[in-house]
Structure 1
């Protein structure tokens, strides 16, 4: 059984123009597959898989636990599935998590400081005849001063071919993931940063609205971690709590990486002041593939949820009541003034009668 290999699908292009040459571009295509990875184009097709040895016979990827200063040896098997001979470059590269939550590898011209620097194949290129396979040994050497924790990268095969129709050179990369856990104290830690809640109300003065909760998951430890997520929004003292629908687990983040999250929460009552709470349960994967949930991490932030329609109605109602009170007071004053005038006139008339 062939182990799943890694085909990174990220595409980058660099265009160079000179007076003496036509358009030149470098395109790198890579990605991840669930079965034996195949790179194919025209008459070119090849696969890569893990070698069968003391580490296993059907591994999906490479996974090692090594102490600082340690060295291990392994191999990758390259098979030519096409009708023409292949001459492939072989090298290692550091990994990172893309904005889509997928593992990718840095390009060959980028500097690798971990897996890409510690993994060395016994050759820089490999020639494979049609229908044949070649085993490529490689070694992993951990520096004495390596920081304990998790590192991810890959070992790659690469073929550059010209595309006459597009006037570019296409670099196809096909490789297998390598996960290293360097011995020492493991500190798996996730942090919730920049938690914020905003509210969109409704024209119904007695209805509910939608809240949007945003935050950043930051891997502040030294272990690769994914996490389950829960988000809720409530009014003062935890009243009228509304919870978000099921939220997908975050991708596995490497140490130092961050992941931005936006969560809608429906049926939120406009209680003037809202409290948004995000809860993460970090998930740690060991060398055997077993996943262990860790102590949850929780953070709360506050925001405003003013029921503007109801507020306007209340203001209008208060204005009407105040206006009615003022009008009533004015009418009473006018009646009093008229009564005072009548009394004054009656007094004056009586005094004139006595004089006469």
Structure 2
């Protein structure tokens, strides 16, 4: 198959761009060789230990930060530098828009040089500037900045497919003004899984959507309570759940050891706090009813079985008593007949 035209190849490169990481990390891209690099926040002298950049700026204000691009490869590499709007994925991990999707918010506020050449095992410190528009809305805005390399891979049909591998970190900008953090709970649904062992409880699942209805980034936690049992979210093994203004995320919480009682009262409490600057600032708790029907079929079946056994036993005893009374009556009648006969 013939190789794609330059225009087609560029389209493939844009369409197949892949974000490997948006936090300090190391990535690899297979082209002519293996390229390994990391990107971290820095000051003018080098890496400064931050995981990402957080800044608070007035509308119209600008600030300069730095990124450290460390080439861990054994050859010089020219890295492409770019910024784009940032967002949190459904799993709670931070990412940034791919190269072929236009930014509409904070990704447009960042200016950085287009590329940088970094020698083997060397680090380049590159400045970038965030300029907040005069009409920017108060509150939190997310962007990501990254260094990338392009590689070409052949698909099964022989077509050349371009892959953009990016490594970067998030840039969180809070525009000064009235901060109004708030959250709501929507689309609550509950289900119950019976245990067919009548001596064992079942488990409940509560599914719901949390919506960040304010203008501040929120760290979302909470708990679901059903029949006196409670389950917190996120769990101890799960990452923190952050929501940008306007974000919504679907959660499912499992509450174990819940006994069925026809209707089980349940409550959902979401207790968000402000993340970033002013972290820990309390936000009004959002509460929703999550009660559900849980018919205790195993227990009812067991009770019905016990009732049948008791009824059968009582019926057997009653039948035995009636038979015994019948035999006694026959014996008395026989006695009376014998007594009436002449000697």
Asked if these proteins are the same fold (TM beyond 0.5), I'd say yes
Q: For the structure 1 residues 209 and 94, does the alpha-carbon distance in structure 2 shift closer, same or farther, using more than 3 Å as the test?
A: same
Q: Specify the alignment match of 1:106 in structure 2.
A: 97
Which residues of 2 match residues 1-356 of structure 1 at below 5 A? 26-32=16-22, 37=26, 39=28, 41=30, 42-53=33-44, 57-121=48-112, 123-163=113-153, 167-204=160-197, 208-234=201-227, 241-244=228-231, 247-248=234-235, 251-287=241-277, 290-311=279-300
- 1:346 maps to which residue? none
The aligned counterpart of 1:331 is none
The offset of 1:261, in angstroms, is 1.3
State the structure with bigger RCO (CA 8 A, min sep 6), 1 or 2: 2
- CA shift for structure 1 position 92: 0.5
Tell me the matched-pair count.
Answer: 298
Question: Structure 1 pair 308/120, CA: closer, same or farther in 2 (3 Å)?
Answer: same
Question: What is the SS of the residue equivalent to 1:82?
Answer: coil
User: 1:274: how far off?
Assistant: 2.0
Q: Which moved more, 1:221-230 or 1:198-207?
A: 198-207
Distance 1:188 1:201 in 2: 39
CA distance in 2, matches of 1:148, 1:246: 29
Q: Deviations over 1:115-155 (max 9, x none)?
A: 2111111x222233334443322211111111111112111
Structure 2 gaps of 5+ residues are: 312-343
Q: Hey, what's the Cα distance between the residues in 1 that align with 2:73 and 2:196?
A: 65
Stretches of structure 1 lacking an aligned partner (at least 5 in a row): 1-15, 235-240, 322-356
Pairwise CA distance, 1:81: 3.1
Q: CA deviation at 1:32?
A: 4.8
Structure 1 residues 268-309: Cα deviation after superposition (integer angstroms, max 9, x where no partner) = 222222222111221222337x54444432211332122234
CA contact (8 A) 1:39 1:174 kept: no
TM-score calculated relative to the size of structure 2: 0.74
Task: Note closer, same or farther for the CA distance 1:54–1:217 as it changes in structure 2 (3 Å cut).
Answer: farther
